[in-house]
Amino acid sequence: MSTPIRTRYLPSPTGPFHVGGARTALFNYLYAKKHGGKFILRIEDTDLKRSKPEYEKDILESLSWLGIEWDEGPTLANSYETRSHKEKGGFGPYRQSERAQLPESSYKKYLQKLLKEGKAFYCFHSGKELKEERDTLLNAKKLPIHICEYRSLTLAEQETLKDTTSEYIIRFKTPLEQTISFKDEIRGELSFASDLIGDFSIARKDFWPLYNFAVVADDEEMKITHVIRGEDHIPNTPKQILLIEALGFRVPIYAHIPLILGQDRSKMSKRHGDTSVNEYRAQGYLPEAIFNFIALLGWNPGAGDNREILSKEELIREFSLAHVQKSGAIFDVQKLDWMNGEYIRAKSVAELARLCKPYLEEFLASSVSPQHSNILENVGMSDALIRDDYFKKIVMLEQPRLKKLSEIGERAEYFFRKPEYDRELLRWKNMADEELTKSLTFSKDIIESRITNHESRLEVEKTFFDAIGKSDKGKILWPLRVALTGKKASPGPFEIIEIMGIKKAGEYLDSALKKFG
């Protein structure tokens, strides 16, 4: 019996939750699910100055929205503020700050062990001294690491010094002249010289744990078997392995995945603007599309499998670390747009309408400018009264055109308020004014007197084509379509009439005609 697989994702709630983090979480999730293991969410919030409850909430909500469910960790009910300890899993608490505050914290236990065995020590250099040393080394073009003089003091000597000053910190006594190597599941054998690491800090004087140490302690306590994280953590790995060995823990399996890069090829981060999951959500990207898209960023199903649209279940089934790319991938929004469109087209109309409705309402409510309001004539349909059956028909029309849900407002606006007309846009090719007026009047005539049942698109279409005869269809249909929509691009006029009805269509044509006196 092999040990059950346990993967984890450790976000730090110090800013909006980004797609890079979501991808790391996703890979851990896919790997765990593929092998019937557990995916653990642990919050790295020991940096109390920067960690914020709202950021943690953002992480939890974004992950849930994406469908990346964690088997253990904080829950949305267990908010950062209330600290109600409604967590899932038996290895809690899952917030580092809470673990550190436990009366018999494991951090303290392990720290004391290291100190006692002479594997860690108190460093009494002041922050100023450290900074100066660092600057000197940097200026001399040397590696800015700290190999501390206090490392060789006995514990008793250190305890004595503790009485003389309050400025000290706990460091790991990094063994010299050693090579630390480990196998990365994606990159193979990696090795590092211990001399280049220095005596790194592991805890503050009050035993408050620092990152590298905290990770090692918690991974042990939570029985983590696989560490799947961004390649920016490769340099941390030898430090963590040194700690693991000093504490006699088991070394987990490592896999360092490539970074997601911004358009400028640098690590995607805050400076790249709208990269937060929330922002994509607000713009109307579907969670399934983002899930699918980020899974394919740095990973593919492998040899000869050209599928790109893959469901969550398929992704879990196909996932393997062996097919993870080694080099970083640029987040290409254009391709995301395409994929989102694919998912939109795959939706049922009812579902899509439900998803689009808030975007439409928001658009109609927010885009009423003073200059706009006088044309906001109520054409038999008040904004507050968007009937579902009516809206569904509109959505059906826009479905093949939509890339993001947020586009629905702009695209379907004319169904709810009369458009503003641009004289030149109404004109088909070089049509003269009289010709244009004739065309619009012609359409108005047909609509008002010849169509008996506008709900039959076939009838509308046939009536029009019978009347137009063999003459240039563009002369009639282009001005009609623009009169109906006010836009240079839109669905066809017959489909629009079918939905908006002859009354409103007639009124729109009247307005368009007024442009030409």
Partner RNA sequence: GCCGCUAUCUUCUAAUUGGCCAGGAAACCGGGCUUUCAAUCCGGUAAUACGGGUUCGAUCCCCGUUGGCGGCGCCA
- 196: its two tokens: 């280049």
Candidates 116, 142, 270, 473; catalytic one? 270
- Residues from 333 through 352 that contact RNA (CB under 7 A): 334-335, 337-338, 341, 345
- Residues from 125 through 144 that contact RNA (CB under 7 A): 126-127, 130, 134, 138, 141-144
Quick check: 181 binds RNA (CB under 7 A)? no
Of the two residues 79 and 300, which places its CB atom closer to RNA in the complex? 300
Of the two residues 126 and 373, which places its CB atom closer to RNA in the complex? 126
- Residues from 53 through 112 that contact RNA (CB under 7 A): 96
Quick check: 369 binds RNA (CB under 7 A)? no
Distance CA 509, CA 504 (A): 9
Supply the Cα-derived Rg of the chain in whole angstroms. 32
- Residues from 200 through 259 that contact RNA (CB under 7 A): 201, 204-205, 210-212, 231-236, 258-259
Q: Is 468 exposed, middle or buried (0-12, 13-18, 19+ CB in 10 A)?
A: middle
Distance CA 286, CA 340 (A): 6
Quick check: 146 binds RNA (CB under 7 A)? yes
Distance CA 189, CA 72 (A): 31
DSSP 134-174: HHHHHHTT-------GGGGS-HHHHHHHHTT-S--EEEE-P
Among 147, 155, 190, 381, binds RNA (CB under 7 A): 190
Q: How many residues bind RNA (CB under 7 A)?
A: 87
Among 54, 149, 167, 466, binds RNA (CB under 7 A): 167
Among 88, 119, 187, 438, binds RNA (CB under 7 A): 187
- Residues from 482 through 501 that contact RNA (CB under 7 A): 488-494
Backbone angles phi, psi at 180, to 5 degrees: -105, 125
Return the range that interacts with RNA (CB under 7 A); candidates 8-16, 32-40, 67-75, 415-423.
Answer: 8-16
**Nearest-CA neighbor of 133 among 123, 141, 145?**
145
Return the range that interacts with RNA (CB under 7 A); candidates 46-54, 112-120, 152-160, 451-459.
Answer: 46-54
3-class DSSP state of 43: strand
Among 121, 122, 192, 421, binds RNA (CB under 7 A): 192
Distance CA 506, CA 446 (A): 10
- Residues from 411 through 470 that contact RNA (CB under 7 A): 428
Write down how long the chain is.
Answer: 517
Of the two residues 190 and 467, which places its CB atom closer to RNA in the complex? 190
Query: Rounded to the nearest whole angstrom, what is the least distance from the CB of residue 2 to RNA in the complex?
Result: 26
- What letter represents residue 385's amino acid? L
Q: Is position 270 annotated as part of the catalytic site?
A: yes
What 8-state DSSP symbol labels residue 48?
T
190-213 residues labelled b (16+ CB within 10 A) or e (exposed): eebebeebbbbbbbeeebbbbbbb
- Residues from 286 through 315 that contact RNA (CB under 7 A): 296-300, 302-304, 306, 308
- Name the residues annotated as catalytic: 270
